[in-house]
Amino acid sequence: MGLDMYLHKRFYIGGAYDENPDAEIEFTTEKFGRRKNWSFRLGEVESIDVLAMQWRKAYSIDDWFMKLRDYANTFFYISHEQLLEFYDTISQVRADHSKASELLPIDDTPEEWYWDDLEATYSKLAELVEEIRYGNADFDLYYEHNA
């Protein structure tokens, strides 16, 4: 097994309050060669979660997020300000690798996979950060930790 982590974007739909809560939402998914048809009444849809980012065994990133939780929860809210702080932390480490042991520490000397995780995270989060900074972030963020 191992550590899998996810950052989710949650869009509030509030379908029960829509002018037409009985409208049907239909779509088809295909996974492992199997098709599935889905159908929901709009009034049944409270929110939609979209995967914004995922990591595998990125322990220093997980440690940073896990310090934000209030209790032993593995799925919790991340404010936009907290995500901006995380992005800034990654920016500092990218600019000065000697800050890694202070800001995003790991037990060993950072190896190539550590820097690859940081670069991928920085690139992937850039779009989210832009949405937040320019006031276009109509979503909430949630972090999920599965060990």
Tens-binned pLDDT, residue by residue, of the chain (147 aa): 689 999 999 999 888 888 888 999 998 999 999 999 999 998 998 999 999 999 999 989 999 999 998 777 889 999 999 999 999 999 999 999 999 889 998 767 668 888 999 999 999 999 999 999 998 889 999 999 987
Q: Is residue 91 part of a domain?
A: yes
Buried b (16+ CB within 10 A) or exposed e, 130-142: eebeeeebebbbb
Q: How far is CA 145 from the centre of its chain?
A: 10
Q: Which residue in 76, 49, 52 sits closest to 131, CA to CA?
A: 52
Given this model, what pLDDT does residue 1 score?
Answer: 64
Number of domains forming the structure of the chain: 1
- Whether the CB-CB separation of 114 and 47 falls below 8 Å is answered with no
Tell whether 63 is covered by a domain.
Answer: yes
Radius of gyration from C-alpha coordinates of the chain: 18
Q: What is the pLDDT of residue 89?
A: 96
* Structural domain contains residue 88: yes
What is the bridge-based pairing of β-strands 47-56 and 140-146?
unpaired
Q: Is residue 36 assigned to a domain?
A: no
The per-residue pLDDT for 94 is: 94
Cα 93 from Cα 97, distance rounded (Å): 5
Judge whether 115 lies within some domain: yes
**pTM given for the model:** 0.86
Domain that holds residue 95: 4-11+48-146
Residue 71 within any structural domain of the chain: yes
Cβ atoms of 11 and 138 closer than 8 Å: yes
Residue 24: inside a domain: no
- Residue 19 forms part of a structural domain: no
SS3 label, residue 112:
helix
